[in-house]
Structure 1
Amino acid sequence: MPDNPALGYVPGQSLIRNRPRLSAPIVPWVAQGERYPFPWRGGPFRLTQGPGGSYSHQDVRSRYAMDIAMPEGTPIIAARAGRVLDLENSQSGAWPSPSGNFVRVLHSDASTGVYLHLSRGSVRVQVGQQVKLGSVLGLSGNTGHSNGPHLHFVVQRNSGLGWVSIPFQFNQPLQGLPNFALGR
């Protein structure tokens, strides 16, 4: 029974019952004008999960994300210039955040590039800092909900209700990495 019937819920109760799963992409906005260079140095590395992946890329935040397996300590670089909007740098394991350590960069078109699962203490930028294409953001790691060292890279926009992943393209092919704008 609610503490206050006018509220209709008990304070502290979760208001989100189920996370929506989309059966088809609903993306009215696409990062079409920019092609992204690979956001890492080194390689070649292996794609372990792409858009709509069976492990964790089904929700609106990560539908078009990619996971690239790479050794811990691989330099992660800005795929586009922008301003650091948010970051985490102190997580050492799987908890408290499934994203682990990350950097979110706001681009000139209001999209953001998000680089997740970075090594603890490796983030080399600060919130509000301007970064250039190719600036080192941090080092790859295995923090958050991760099944091995990798970079989780996603381009998102703010829908007004939260972050939504959007299709994007890389500016070069790499041994079968998919064209993410086509969802392959």
Structure 2
Amino acid sequence: MIIGTAAATTQSSTVSVELVNGECSLDMWTYGNHNSIISGFESYFSSSVKGGIWTNSDGRLAVLTENGYMKITTEYPTDCFCIVFASDRNDGYARVVLDGKRIWTGDTWANVNTGQNIDAQKITSLKITGLENTVHTIKIKNLNVRDECHDGHVTIYKYGYNCPEDTEIPEFPTIALPVAAILGLAFIFQRKEK
């Protein structure tokens, strides 16, 4: 089920942003709190946080401070990125800025009691596709809008890139023809040596 979508045009492509229920399938990903639990892909990202945070050993990291943010830079080129939010009644409005341009603002609040483990959290994913295939910098900012429903935190559970559903797999001839050519050349050179 799609919760919200947006689109932004850049110089060479149209970026599509979609908030969906559940987790994105990711090739390379890490936890928001990768200091306590690791995925093995931490070297594919660099990250920093400005402002107060709350962390959990299950991988969650919440940005608590108004205008605080998590800044992530991909170490390798990609044409997609995904942020997985884990939300409860402590969460609120977030803004995502990609390469200096605001691409999404939305509510991450969920009607889930605070203090619950990760299995009880509302999991949503912000899928960003259609990016130029280069390195990117992403800021996940806490807007800290407080009202009767929102406490103003933004909880990042995971993030990553190169979503499998957006990665094209070369067709068989694209792989087979170069391999056959190399094998043929090896056979010819082997015959010449004899």
> TM-score, normalised to structure 1's length?
0.31
> TM-score, normalised to structure 2's length?
0.30
Higher relative contact order (CA 8 A, sep 6+): 2
Which of structures 1 and 2 has the bigger CA Rg?
2
Which has the larger share of helix?
A: 2
Which has the larger share of strand?
A: 2
